[in-house]
Amino acid sequence: MTAYEFSLSGTSMQARADGTLWLPEARALCVADLHFGKSERMARRGGSLLPPYDSTETLIRLADAVRACNPATVYCLGDSFDDDAAGLALPPDIEDGLTGLMAGREWVWIAGNHDPAPIALGGSHRDRATVGPVTLRHIADPSETGPELSGHYHPKHGVATRAGRQVRRCFLISGARAILPAFGCYTGGLSCTKAPLDALLKPGAVAVMLGRRAVPVPLDRALA
């Protein structure tokens, strides 16, 4: 088993080593911050001409996860596209690949700050969604009291080990809330113990770091 199993207010979940989150009862796969079209957007805005293969790489990883889980529903927790124009200007092969993944299952695009408007691809478009008691949204809502899944912050965490400091993307599980790591290829990270993420930490919070397995690490000590 390479995933980390936990539950939020009674709903069991698996934080997978690939950065996706699996809800076995609902057969739902959640993924956050795909950032399709990031290199294209940077070039369009006059930035660096980065290798234009990030969308392909992200699609390959997403296809692997979908193949492994065969979900009934896929929830993309926002910032799936680096901006609305990127969503509209997807290269044909990426669009075809996504359409192939969407066939035969329900697909929900939750709006993010990068991609607020619905895009032309299939699937349904929501501001937020619910799976049983769990609310899914892009940015964690501090006033939320029920179980909640979100993305946006690209959490990462570092641990000093015998083999040197290991910094990895991670899930942040704190109270009834879990924040997913960014899944997209060209994405950086925000440290779990720094503002603004530290404000969301509760006693017993855990970072689940990605590697060959999903590895849980307590955050209490890092916070102290």
Partner 1 sequence: MTRTRLPAAFQNWFARQGWTPHPHQLALLEARDAPATLLIAPTGGGKTLAGFLPTLVDLSGGAGPGMHTLYVSPLKALANDIARNLRHPADALGLKIRIEDRTGDTGQAQRKRQRVDPPHILLTTPESLALLLSYPEAPQIFAGLKRIVLDEIHALAESKRGDQLMLALSRLATLAPDAARVGLSATVEDPPALADFMAPGPPEGAGACRIIHADPGPAPDIAILDTAHPPPWSGMGGRYAVHEVMDAIAAARTTLVFINTRAQAELFFQALWQVNDANLPIGLHHGSLSRDARARVEAAMVAGDLRAVVCTGSLDLGIDWGNVDLVIQVGAPKNVKRLVQRIGRANHRYNAPSRALLVPANRFEVIECRAALDAVAARDLDGERRADGPLDVLCQHILLSACAAPFDADALFGEVRSAGPYRRLPRADYDRCLDYCATGGYALRAYDRWQRLMQRPDGLWQLRDPRRASMLRMNAGTIVDTETLKVRLRGGPGLGEVEESFVASLTPGDTFLIGGQVVRYDTLKEMTVMVSRSPSREPRIAVFQGTKLACSTRLSERYLELVNDAAARHRLPAHTRDWLDLQEDISALPAHDRLLVETFTRKNRSYLCLYGFAGKNAMQTLGLLLTRRMESLNLAPVGFVSNDYALLIWGLTEVADPAELLASGPLKQGWQDWLGENAVMKRTFRTVATIGGLLERNLPGQRKSGRQATFSSDILYDTLRRFDPDHLMMEITRREAMHGLVSFERIDEMLARTDGRIDHRRAPHVTPMAAPLLLEVGKVPIKGLAQDDALEEEAAQMMAEAGLDAP
Site residues, partner 1 (CB under 8 A): 1, 4-5, 39-40, 43-44, 46-54, 56-57, 91, 153-154, 159-166, 168, 182, 185-191, 204, 206, 209, 211-213, 215-218, 220-221
**CA quadruple 78, 140, 223, 19: dihedral positive or negative?**
negative
Name which of 63 and 102 has its Cβ closer to partner 1.
63
- Closest distance to partner 1 from the beta carbon of 47 (Å): 8
Residue corresponding to tokens 């889980």: 69
Name which of 20 and 187 has its Cβ closer to partner 1.
187
Strands lying side by side in the sheet with 21-23: 4-8, 11-15, 21-23, 28-31, 73-76, 106-110, 124-126
Name which of 146 and 218 has its Cβ closer to partner 1.
218
Name which of 73 and 166 has its Cβ closer to partner 1.
166
Asked if residue 171 lies in contact with residue 155, where contact means CB atoms within 8 angstroms, the answer is: yes
- Closest distance to partner 1 from the beta carbon of 118 (Å): 24
- Closest distance to partner 1 from the beta carbon of 30 (Å): 19
In the three-class reduction of DSSP (H, G, I as helix; E, B as strand; rest coil), residue 58 is classed as: helix
Asked if residue 149 lies in contact with residue 155, where contact means CB atoms within 8 angstroms, the answer is: no
Asked if residue 174 lies in contact with residue 207, where contact means CB atoms within 8 angstroms, the answer is: no
- Closest distance to partner 1 from the beta carbon of 204 (Å): 7
